[in-house]
A and B are shown apart, each in its own frame.
Chain A
Amino acid sequence: RKEVEQDPGPFNVPEGATVAFNCTYSNSASQSFFWYRQDCRKEPKLLMSVYSSGNEDGRFTAQLNRASQYISLLIRDSKLSDSATYLCVAGLYDKVIFGPGTSLSVIP
């Protein structure tokens, strides 16, 4: 089993749709969680940190479920500019594991 797994994708959604990405991590002791976005042939950029209480930033909401070892990212009112690959990250001490990513294409 991979240490961080994500929905295989790709996700193709119309503008304005709500889309949810799921991620699971295998190490129950993991302490840090993030979502990054990566545009084609570009570097990953931090989208948001994920806290136990959940957090929201505009159209983006991240949730953490430690009991199920599950992280989610919800994007509301999708924009064309949201098209990218979304990477889930789980970390423990100096070991930070990136998931393989889920590709999103928002269609006009």
Chain B
Amino acid sequence: NAGVTQTPKFRVLKTGQSMTLLCAQDMNHEYMYWYRQDPGMGLRLIHYSVGEGTTAKGEVPDGYNVSRLKKQNFLLGLESAAPSQTSVYFCASSYGVYQPQHFGDGTRLSIL
């Protein structure tokens, strides 16, 4: 039982490149979330999903797209990477809206 798995763990991109971050959970959770965390700051919600085929915007959605084609996977895409998107990205999942979230161990993304 791996819990929440994020790939890749580290990535360096050049400005303007695109990439996709993958989050996979094996706990049959309905809800999945993508956050970013910048140095000295709290978690900020980018997008989330309340079930397969659904997505919704969070606090800082601009520059990102997401898809939830399968219940266990939640993909985060950067369309045209910018240095301001350098951050640590965390994926999380939960059974329901009032249940605690379980986090992956993060993706450290640097954009030059």
Interface, chain A (partner B; CB < 8 A): 31-32, 34, 41-46, 49, 87, 91, 93-94, 96, 98-101
Contacts and interface: CB of A to CB of B under 8 A. Distances in A.
A98 B98 contact: no
Given A44-B103, A45-B103, A94 B42 contact: no
Contact of A94 (B41, B56, B102): B56
Given A43-B90, A43-B106, A94-B50, A87 B42 contact: yes
Interface in B12-46: 31, 33, 35, 41-43, 45
Nearest to B99: A32
B101 interface: yes
Nearest to A6: B42
B43 A44 contact: yes
Given A94-B97, A100-B42, 16 more contacts: A31-B98, A32-B97, A32-B98, A42-B105, A44-B90, A45-B103, A46-B101, A87-B43, A94-B31, A94-B50, A94-B56, A96-B33, A96-B97, A98-B35, A98-B42, A101-B42
**Residue among A31, A94, A96 with the highest chain B CB neighbour number at 10 A:** A96
Interface string B78-92: 000000000010100
Nearest to B91: A43
Interface string B44-63: 01001010000010000000
Given A44-B103, A98-B43, A100-B42, A91 B48 contact: no
Contacts of B101: 44, 46, 96
B104 A43 contact: yes
Nearest to A32: B98
10 contacts: A31-B98, A32-B97, A42-B105, A43-B90, A46-B102, A94-B48, A96-B101, A98-B42, A100-B41, A100-B42
